[in-house]
Amino acid sequence: MSARPDLPRFPDSLPAEWCRELDAELSSGSNVLAWLEVDLDESLGFARTRIVLCDGELLSRRAGTMQWQRWPLHAELQLGHFDHAGVGTLELSDRQGRLSVWRYTLEQNLAVLRLIKAFESRQQLLATGAAPAVESGDICPKCKAPLPPDETECPICTRVEQTPPSTWTLLRLWRFGKPYQGQLLAGFLLMLGSTAATLVPPYLTMPLMDDILIPFQNGQQIDAGLVGIYLAALLGAALLSWALGWAKTYILALVSERIAADLRTATFEHLLQLSLEYFGGKRTGDLMARIGSETDRLSVFLSLHLLDFITDVLMIVLTAIILFSINPWLALVTLLPLPLIAWLIHLVRDRLRTGFEKIDRVWGEVTNVLADTIPGIRVVKAFAQESREARRFRDANHHNLVINDRLNKTWSLFTPTVSLLTEIGLLVVWAFGIWLVSKSQITVGVLTAFLAYIGRFYTRLDSMSRIVSVTQKAAAGAKRIFDILDHVSTVPEPVRPVHLANVTGAMELREVGFRYGSRSVIRDLSLQIRPGEMIGLVGHSGSGKSTLVNLICRFYDVTDGSIRIDGIDLRSIPVAEFRRHIGLVLQEPFLFFGSVAENIAYGKPDATRDEIVAAARAAHAHEFILRLPQGYDSLVGERGQGLSGGERQRVSIARALLIDPRLLILDEATSSVDTETEKEIQRALDNLVAGRTTIAIAHRLSTLRKADRLVVMDRGRIVEIGSHDELMASEGHYYRLYQAQQRHAEELLLEGAAA
Amino acid sequence: MSDFELSRNSFGRLVLKAADGRVHEGVVAVRAFPIAAPDEGISLVGSEGHELVWIARLDDLPDDMRRLVGEELAQREFVPVIERLVAVSTFATPSYWRVTTDHGETEFILRGEEDIRRIGHGKLLIGDSHGMQYLVPDLYALDGHSRKLLDRFL
Ligand SMILES: Nc1ncnc2c1ncn2[C@@H]1O[C@H](COP(=O)(O)OP(=O)(O)O)[C@@H](O)[C@H]1O
Ligand SMILES: [Mg+2]
């Protein structure tokens, strides 16, 4: 039967339960155009409210009520939204006032935008009688990009949801062990051999007792030849076990070091791929600890503890086999305490693991104090806060102690308990063994062999119990490393990358919105930049200029809208490929530890000396570099110590010049230097800007004379665009900014004259 | 005693009539110390982003204005107080948390341990993957089950 046209029609995605409910509500022939369930109620409780848009009306049913509220659509109806601190608000109003409010968490932002879009196109249809431009039908409501045909979700905006990593973290190390399979197998076989060899001597105590010592006690002669053979066998077994043990330890230690090194490299490489957002949320000390000491701890675990443990397990299994083959009953009694010990180990395990994870975090805290204080030592000393930092360190250390103490309480009880169980186990074997000997079930030799075996056996159990703690430590470490490795960059590499052929440098920002967390910093910003154009970005501090630059460099990804270069969405270009076309000069230039020449050539390591000198000349850095004691080979420190602010800045300009970028970004490049140096830098910049698309942020408006257009920003929005003269004439935001600076400059001048 | 008047218009926006007789629509109230001292230092900010009125203490306002400001604050700052952790999907992060709050039961994703911020003795602020904040006013006052779960992340 075909669908009857007079029934309401629902989108496929609408849950069946809604359809049933709406069936009764909607008039026949009415279609559901968009729907949504917001997750907060008016007083911000977590409760679900349904909103449905259909042809002629908007409906909503609040959680806990059965009544649908309805608002017939008419031309004056408006649906607006805004958000603050993680809560979005959707408002329906007409000319007289607000009709209804809905609230939602930002998780539903996309769905809300969809609803608003559907609402607006419906309104337009009602007003003009014509559907809005074709485009709107398949545009992603979030990034405004046209959707690929046959897809309802934008491939750029819908990203993989984060999945928690599994707890079997240590097994995941296998990924790093795989390349060394061969060596690992060889090591394992050697281990098997050496362990088997160590089990020979206790076995020989049996014939030594029964065939030699006991007959001697009963008055027989000692057979020197037989004794010789047995002793030779003992020596042979010891030598064999020594040689095999050496080979195995050597091979496996080699392999485990390599695994740890691979892990370290992989982690660091992955870390470098992560977005600035990740680094913003992490602390240096913590990351350093993870990559440095955690990987080292893992290496020790693999080469020492895990190895010992596997040897022990092998030994126990082999011993058990031997014991059972000699006398099953005695073997059973001997092995009885084993499950008990295993249970004990399991019991303590959980406590220890959480304890060790905690210690790791606290340890990170201790390193963090160091990482905060040492780079900031000038501030610490300037404000005479040494004692406060010392106290912070002491507190962190104390916290460490407290947690360790708590853990040690459990831990210290553990080992003696295992020893006690060992003694009790031995006691049982003695008792049962003597009874068996008295019944002539076994010989004295067998009992001696058993005691010799389990003497070792139990000491191994004792050391095995230690594996619990080291495994937990290693697992905690591995987890912290895999936390990094599992972290997906928030500026992900595109699935289907588009490559840039020849970049002209045309940029387009389309309804861009951006949030740091829940804080909205850029709102609905659109801008077209022609190839080779110079844009001056001005506005109060905090108006979002640097943030915009971060978005253009793709240090962060936009929350809404899209940014395109030559018509291609930035998110579909491989990150590194895109960044090659960007030259960035920041207010606080960062120089790496190395020579001046190396720093200039940072973005192009294969640059020739001539290129470096040419870049330095163009950046007006050449002369001051020559004045340094070792010229271009002078070492500059970690934070460029030894160079002044202006000098560092010119080195970083040379760095940007050298890579010859199509797109140049200057973020307050001259703000931290005096006017004289600024002129010097300005001349350097003029060289840099020529022929490139440039976005320049400057605190001093006078430095933007050369800009083709000035873009004035205020609280995340563009408020004015135009040339200096136009903007001055319109007496708006820019005019006020400029006036304020002029006054300030005059005051300075007067002060200077007075002094 | 106050030299300004507050009211709410039909669009639900706060309207301020300042001492100089000027009328500002769409005024928002912001707490200066939302965590350390929520009832001290409240600023009424105009739609331009400039401060119009500084209220040293909420208690200083007459009742009806205090109610208006209170309402405005309540809808601007949404920090549900976690009363109980029902379950967490895993002790590694990211981890899905189901919690009971003073605003009802909800679920969220904790992206990393560093999103749990200690703010004083036993007081925690937990940020979820969408930037929403949840408050644990006193870790030690939680029930044993919740504390045990939470402890694994601290
Ligand atoms: N990493 C960040 N996390 C949260 N907020 C930030 C971050 N960086 C900047 N902001 C905020 O974003 C706003 C815009 O900052 P920014 O773009 O640096 O301004 P501008 O460069 O115009 O001075 C400011 O209010 C600032 O506090
Ligand atoms: Mg800035």
pLDDT digits (tens, 9 = 90+) for A499-530: 888 888 889 998 898 988 777 889 889 999 99
The mean pLDDT of B10-15, rounded to a whole number, is: 85
Quote the ligand 1 centre to A397 CA distance (angstroms): 34
Peptide bond into B94 cis (omega under 30): yes
Q: A106: which chain B residues are within 8 Å (Cβ-Cβ)?
A: 130-132
3-class DSSP state of A96:
coil
Q: Say whether pLDDT at A750 is over 50.
A: yes
Q: Is the dihedral of CA A284, A285, A287, A288 positive or negative?
A: positive
The mean pLDDT of A228-248, rounded to a whole number, is: 91
CA A357/CA A353 separation, integer angstroms: 6
Interval A367-409: pLDDT, tens: 878 877 887 777 777 777 888 888 888 988 888 888 888 888 8
Q: Say whether pLDDT at A162 is over 50.
A: no
Interval A26-39: pLDDT, tens: 777 778 888 888 88
Q: Say whether pLDDT at A711 is over 90.
A: yes
Q: Say whether pLDDT at A253 is over 50.
A: yes
Amino acid A288: pLDDT: 80
**Phi, psi dihedrals of residue A212, rounded to the nearest 5°:** -120, -60
The reply to whether ipTM tops 0.90 is: no
CA A511/CA A499 separation, integer angstroms: 24
Which residue, A734, A732, A689, is CA-closest to A710? A734
CA-based end-to-end distance of chain B: 48
Amino acid A57: pLDDT: 85
Amino acid B147: pLDDT: 87
The mean pLDDT of A447-475, rounded to a whole number, is: 74
User: Any bridge partners for residue A510, and if so which?
Assistant: A562
Q: Cβ A283–B93 below 8 Å, yes or no?
A: no
CB atoms within 10 A of CB A343: 9
Share of chain A above pLDDT 70, in %: 89
Q: Cβ A169–B92 below 8 Å, yes or no?
A: yes
CA A509/CA A718 separation, integer angstroms: 12
Measured between CB atoms, does B87 come within 8 Å of chain A? no
Interval A654-681: pLDDT, tens: 888 888 888 888 888 777 667 777 777 7
* A55-64, A147-156, A301-310, range with the lowest pLDDT: A147-156
Indicate which atom in ligand 1 lies nearest the CA of residue A667. Answer: 21
Give the pLDDT band (50/70/90) at residue A639.
Answer: low
Measured between CB atoms, does A679 come within 8 Å of chain B? no
Higher pLDDT, A131 or A193: A193
Quote the ligand 1 centre to B33 CA distance (angstroms): 20
**Phi, psi dihedrals of residue A147, rounded to the nearest 5°:** -80, 150
CA B15/CA B47 separation, integer angstroms: 11
* DSSP one-letter code for A213: I
Which residue, A745, A673, A663, is CA-closest to A702? A745
Please report how many Cα atoms fall inside a 13 Å half-sphere around the Cα of residue B82, on the Cβ side. 33
Higher pLDDT, A586 or A629: A586
Measured between CB atoms, does A89 come within 8 Å of chain B? yes
Amino acid A657: pLDDT: 85
CA A562/CA A339 separation, integer angstroms: 62
Q: Say whether pLDDT at A239 is over 90.
A: yes
Amino acid B100: pLDDT: 92
Protein residue with least CA distance to atom 24, ligand 1: A542
User: Any bridge partners for residue A38, and if so which?
Assistant: A49
Lookup: tokens for A528:
């077209």
3-class DSSP state of B146:
helix
CA B69/CA B42 separation, integer angstroms: 9
Q: Is the dihedral of CA A616, A617, A621, A623 positive or negative?
A: positive
Lookup: tokens for B132:
């929403």
Which residue, A124, A453, A460, A37, is CA-closest to A136? A124
- Residue B19: alpha-carbon gap to chain centroid: 29
Domains and CATH numbers, chain A: 16-128 (2.30.29.30), 167-485 (1.20.1560.10), 497-581+665-671+693-755 (3.40.50.300), 584-660 (3.40.50.300)
Contact A642, A561 (CB under 8 A): no
* DSSP one-letter code for A305: I
Contact A471, A170 (CB under 8 A): yes
Question: Which uninterrupted H or E stretch holds A434?
Answer: helix A386-438
Interface test with B, best of A350, A357, A514, A715 (most B CBs within 10 A): A357
Which residue, A112, A21, A35, is CA-closest to A67? A21
**Partner-chain residue, chosen from B10, B93, B132, that has the shortest CB–CB distance to A86:** B132
* DSSP one-letter code for A575: H
Q: Which of A541, A547, A697, A712 to mutate to test the pocket of ligand 1 (most atoms within 8 A of CB)?
A: A547
Amino acid A516: pLDDT: 82
Amino acid A434: pLDDT: 92
Instruction: Name the packing angle between helices A609-618 and A645-658 (round to 10°).
Output: 120
CA B63/CA B60 separation, integer angstroms: 9
Using CA coordinates, name the residue in chain A closest to B152. A354
The mean pLDDT of A695-716, rounded to a whole number, is: 87
Confirm or reject: Cβ of A691 under 6 Å from ligand 1: no
Domain locations along chain B: 5-76, 82-151
> Which bound ligand lies closest to the C-alpha atom of A547?
1
Interval A3-26: pLDDT, tens: 444 455 777 777 777 777 777 777
Q: Say whether pLDDT at A449 is over 60.
A: yes
Question: How long a stretch of residues is chain A?
Answer: 755
Q: Is the dihedral of CA B53, B59, B65, B66 positive or negative?
A: positive
Question: CA of A459, closest CA in chain B: separation in Å?
Answer: 33
Indicate which atom in ligand 1 lies nearest the CA of residue A544. Answer: 17
With 0.90 as the threshold, say if the pTM is over it. no
3-class DSSP state of A561:
strand
Q: Say whether pLDDT at A136 is over 60.
A: no
Q: Which of A276, A525, A546 to mutate to test the pocket of ligand 1 (most atoms within 8 A of CB)?
A: A546
**Partner-chain residue, chosen from B76, B104, B113, that has the shortest CB–CB distance to A45:** B104
Amino acid B1: pLDDT: 45
Interface test with B, best of A362, A518, A523, A715 (most B CBs within 10 A): A518
In this structure, what is the dihedral angle of CA atoms A84, A85, A87, A91, given to the nearest 10 degrees? Answer: -10
Question: CA of B60, closest CA in chain A: separation in Å?
Answer: 25
The whole-chain average pLDDT of chain B stands at 84
Question: Which uninterrupted H or E stretch holds A318?
Answer: helix A307-326
What is the edge-to-edge ordering of all strands in the sheet holding A560-565? A519-529, A507-516, A560-565, A568-569
Q: B47: which chain A residues are within 8 Å (Cβ-Cβ)?
A: none
Which residue, A608, A583, A612, is CA-closest to A599? A612
Which residue, A649, A705, A654, A652, is CA-closest to A677? A649
The mean pLDDT of A235-256, rounded to a whole number, is: 90
Contact A277, A157 (CB under 8 A): no
* A138-142, A309-313, A473-477, A740-744, range with the lowest pLDDT: A138-142
Interval B71-109: pLDDT, tens: 888 877 788 899 999 988 877 667 889 999 988 888 888
Share of chain A above pLDDT 90, in %: 8
**Partner-chain residue, chosen from A101, A103, A517, that has the shortest CB–CB distance to B12:** A101
Which residue, B78, B130, B74, B125, is CA-closest to B104? B78
CA-based end-to-end distance of chain A: 96
Interval A65-98: pLDDT, tens: 888 888 888 888 888 888 777 788 888 888 888 8
CB atoms within 10 A of CB A563: 23
Interval A266-324: pLDDT, tens: 888 888 888 777 777 677 777 887 788 888 888 888 777 888 888 888 888 888 898 89
Q: Cβ B132–A483 below 8 Å, yes or no?
A: no
Contact A443, A210 (CB under 8 A): yes
| B113 Cβ contact partners less than 8 Å away, ≥ 6 residues apart | A361, B93, B153, B154
The mean pLDDT of A40-67, rounded to a whole number, is: 84
A532 φψ region: left (φ > 0), alpha (ψ -120 to 50), beta (else) = left
Amino acid A165: pLDDT: 41
**Share in percent of chain A as helix, strand, coil (round to 5):** 60, 15, 25
Q: Say whether pLDDT at A608 is over 50.
A: yes
Interval A488-497: pLDDT, tens: 777 777 778 8
Most confident of A276-280, A453-457, A735-739: A735-739
CA A601/CA A426 separation, integer angstroms: 71
